[in-house]
């Protein structure tokens, strides 16, 4: 005679429920993390190295877990060929506890002596393009200056071709894009000033708008700005450097369920 199906015991049901609850934080962690952006430190000029020391101390003391720190360019004040400045910079920033990713800016690999500057950058700071996975999110760290200003010319390096390749490899995963110069017009001396060359800007916009880019994180303008490309926010951060009497600051970002928000933190 067939036996009736057995009803799971209460203890078995509770066990499965407990396992499901324990799995929730792991699933949520894929779409929830914090990171820090530093930009435009211009080390080698004024008191900026001391600002860097205070910055590192402040980041290391943050109570929230920081997945990584990104420096979005103009690390140095046109002094990448000065070994002392490079050594001091790497010593100060090397004290950071979270992983640190660099992106060069227009004052790091400059128009003059660009071949030498590029060689030093690659040896001391890292590659021009880096792609990292944070859970299900793809972070692209990209050197864009040859597209943003048509210099320096680096044989075999097309930043927008590199961007296209990285975005295609990301597929349908959400993307965070980090670069130095934003492809938006600058506003200074009470006028709008064109930024990128029109053809390069249109090409960049076409690539970004075709992929699930959840945020573009930039520096360069030494101001706090927010712009939009369709549904994609373009964040422009204020500098660590003190030019124009700026107070040193950095940003603590939170990525949660496909949306990016930030807090500005100031150094005393």
Is the domain spanning 30-266 CATH 3.40.50.300? The answer is no
Give CA angle at 15 (9, 21), nearest 5°. 140
DSSP 238-260: PPSS-GGGPPPEEEEEEEETTEE
pLDDT by residue, tens only, the chain of 268 residues: 445 555 556 554 444 444 444 444 444 445 899 999 999 999 999 999 999 999 999 999 999 999 999 999 999 999 999 999 999 999 999 999 999 999 999 999 988 899 999 999 999 999 999 999 999 999 999 999 999 999 999 999 999 999 999 999 999 999 999 999 999 999 999 999 999 999 999 999 999 999 999 999 999 999 999 999 999 999 999 999 999 989 999 999 999 999 999 999 999 8
DSSP 15-60: HHHHHHHHHHHHHHHTTEEEEEEE----BTSTTHHHHHHHHHHHHH
pTM over 0.85: yes
Residue 188 corresponds to which tokens in the numbers above? Answer: 């200074």
């Amino acid at each position: 005679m067939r036996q009736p199906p057995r009803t799971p015991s209460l203890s078995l049901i509770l066990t499965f429920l407990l396992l499901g609850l324990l799995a929730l934080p792991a699933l949520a962690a894929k779409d929830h993390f914090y990171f820090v952006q530093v930009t435009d430190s211009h080390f080698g000029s004024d008191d900026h190295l001391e600002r860097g020391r205070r910055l590192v101390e402040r980041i290391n003391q943050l109570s929230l877990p920081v997945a990584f720190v990104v420096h979005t360019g103009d690390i140095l004040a046109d002094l990448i060929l000065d070994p002392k400045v490079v050594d001091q910079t790497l010593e100060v920033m090397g004290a950071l506890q979270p992983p640190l990713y660099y992106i060069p800016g227009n004052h790091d690999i400059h128009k003059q002596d660009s071949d030498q500057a590029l060689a030093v950058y690659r040896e001391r700071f890292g590659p021009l393009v880096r792609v990292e996975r944070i859970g299900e999110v793809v972070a692209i760290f990209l050197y864009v200056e040859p597209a943003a200003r048509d210099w320096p010319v680096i044989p075999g390096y097309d930043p927008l071709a590199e961007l296209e390749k990285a975005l295609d490899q990301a597929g349908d995963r959400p993307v965070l894009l980090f670069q130095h110069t934003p492809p938006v017009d600058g506003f200074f001396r009470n006028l709008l000033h064109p930024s990128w060359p029109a053809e390069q800007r249109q090409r960049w916009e076409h690539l970004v708008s075709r992929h699930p880019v959840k945020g573009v994180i930039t520096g360069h303008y030494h101001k706090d700005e927010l712009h939009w490309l369709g549904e994609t926010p373009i964040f422009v951060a204020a500098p660590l450097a003190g030019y124009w009497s700026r107070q040193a600051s950095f940003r603590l970002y939170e990525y949660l369920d496909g949306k990016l928000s930030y807090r500005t933190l100031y150094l005393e």
